[in-house]
Amino acid sequence: MRMNTSFFRPSLLALCATGLCTLASAKLPAPSPEAAAKAAEAAARSAWAGKVDSYKLCQSQDRVAAHYRKNHPAAKPATVGPAACADPGPFSYTPPAEKPIEAAGAHSPPGTASSPPNTTMPAAAAASAPKS
């Protein structure tokens, strides 16, 4: 007994596409502070590695140009002098300083209170009310 595959293939394909869309739209939770710090350090290390690669490429290009000028004395020198290769130095990462909770704005806004927080009286009426 042979089953009709003309119905099963499109439905299976649609089911797989729906599953992929569902997975792609899922939201990941926020990283922990430790994971965020590690990610920041990894990004800094990656940026530094890019600078090191650029420095090595610059040195290599300078060696090739010097070799070419040595072997081809009739070659015209460059009209603009080559930029000096900038050595990025050793990797160093200093994490940004964390703000204390008080400076992060976690507390009530600055300013003086015009009425007690537990009254239902508007602020203007509270200011004109007689004090006892």
At 97-113, the pLDDT tens digits run 776 666 555 555 556 66
16 CB contacts (<8 Å, ≥6 apart)? none
- 60 has a pLDDT exceeding 90: yes
Q: What is the 3-state secondary structure of 55-111?
A: HHHHHHHHHHHHHHHHHCCCCCCCCCCCCCCCCCCCCCCCCCCCCCHHHHCCCCCCC
Our CA dihedral for 122, 126, 128, 129, rounded to 10 degrees, sits at: 130
- Cα(101)–Cα(98) distance, integer angstroms: 9
- 116 has a pLDDT exceeding 80: no
**Average confidence score pLDDT of the chain:** 77
- Tell me the per-residue pLDDT of 3-47, one tens digit each, with 9 for 90 and over: 555 667 777 777 777 776 666 666 778 889 899 999 999 999 999
Burial class (CB in 10 A: 0-12, 13-18, 19+), 13: exposed
Size of the chain in residues: 132
| pTM: predicted TM-score of the whole model, two decimal places | 0.51
- Cα(37)–Cα(96) distance, integer angstroms: 9
pLDDT band at 59; cut points 50, 70, 90: very high
